[in-house]
Amino acid sequence: MTRQVNINGLTIGGNAPVRVESMLKTRLNDREECISQCENLLNAGCELARVAFPDKKFFDDLKFLTANTKLTLMADIHFDPKLALLAMEAGCRSIRINPGNMNLNALNDVIDTAKNLGVVIRIGANGGSISQAQLDQAHGDRSKALFIAVREQADLLLARNFENVILSAKSSDVIECINANKMIAENYPDFPVHIGLTEAGYGDSGIVKGAACISNLLLQGIGNTLRVSLTEEPEREIKIGYEILKALNLRTRGVNLISCPTCGRRRTDVKKLVKIVEPLLKFMPDGISVAVMGCEVNGPKEARHAQFGIAGTPKGAMLFKSGEAVGEYEFDELAKVLPEFLEIKNYKGA
């Protein structure tokens, strides 16, 4: 188990759950849009969001944002140590920096300020920032070069007795990313690790690549906070992040919807059934399983572990709870009877 860091009450590492994070995809000077996106992310379940802070001219905007959102923020900074100091002055209690890009005097100032304010520093490298020297040292092994880049940064902070750290190694290559993170976990087992595939892509391709990388690491016990980096709205990243954790039985946000892929045995249109059921799920407690099946074969028998289930029949659909039949209804009756069947309290419509 890693040590635990604390960002404004948000714990990462140790016995804390794997956190789900994203990044604001708006510019800081668009204050209204930034606040709106923070609210949307909070509603989606986001626990930490990085925000790009590329220029001191955005200082007042960053200060405004930290003061007007409940979402925990991490200022994302490249190259300029003065920006790291300004971000902390603006109220950010976590920053992301590359210590290797800072001269030692400036780095000392950043570390001293972070110590005084209790700021968490995330450090790390990605596949695009590997130097030729690091590649040469790794004899061309890009995963090892990525780890070496992280090690160089970590050692700069640890040599200055700063341990309020999150480590990260990210790449757009699944295998490269997995292997680099394994090296981090083996060499720095005490420190929480942020995982994710950088620049995963768009749509199904990006989701599959991100899930393949993140799931592999989580199953090895590696990863304390994650981001599914997609060329999509940030709320989508949060949704997929929780779906990954739910599939691995690591977290239970939302309802676990089970539905069969359908075949020639199906008695009804499963996709239509899912579309009737899905809007109701947001009114149900986290961790509940709801099964939507096409026939009696995939119905109560294969889905008896689900607290609630629906199986297609020649008449319409049979409803069952924990494998026990409750009643059979025509298709047109389902929208009316499902809220009561699903035990949704005080339901007033989706």
pLDDT digit string (tens) for the chain, length 350 residues: 999 999 999 999 999 999 999 999 999 999 999 999 999 999 999 999 999 999 999 999 999 999 999 999 999 998 899 999 999 999 999 999 999 888 999 999 999 999 999 999 999 998 888 999 999 999 999 999 999 999 999 999 999 999 999 999 999 999 999 999 999 999 999 999 999 998 767 889 999 999 999 999 999 999 999 999 999 999 999 999 999 999 999 998 889 998 888 887 777 788 888 999 999 999 999 999 999 988 866 667 777 888 999 988 888 888 999 888 888 998 889 889 999 999 998 777 76
pTM: 0.91
Q: State the sign of the Cα–Cα–Cα–Cα dihedral 49, 50, 52, 53.
A: positive
Looking at residue 1, its amino acid is M
DSSP labels, 124-184: EEEGGG--HHHHHHTTT-HHHHHHHHHHHHHHHHHTTT---EEEEEE-SSHHHHHHHHHHH
* Three-state secondary structure readout of 182-211: HHHHHHCCCCCEEECCCCCECHHHHHHHHH
Sheet holding 256-259, edge to edge: 256-259, 289-293, 308-312, 316-321, 324-330
Containing H/E element for 244?
A: helix 234-247
Task: Give the burial class of 140: count Cβ atoms within 10 A of its Cβ; 0-12 exposed, 13-18 middle, 19 or more buried.
Answer: exposed
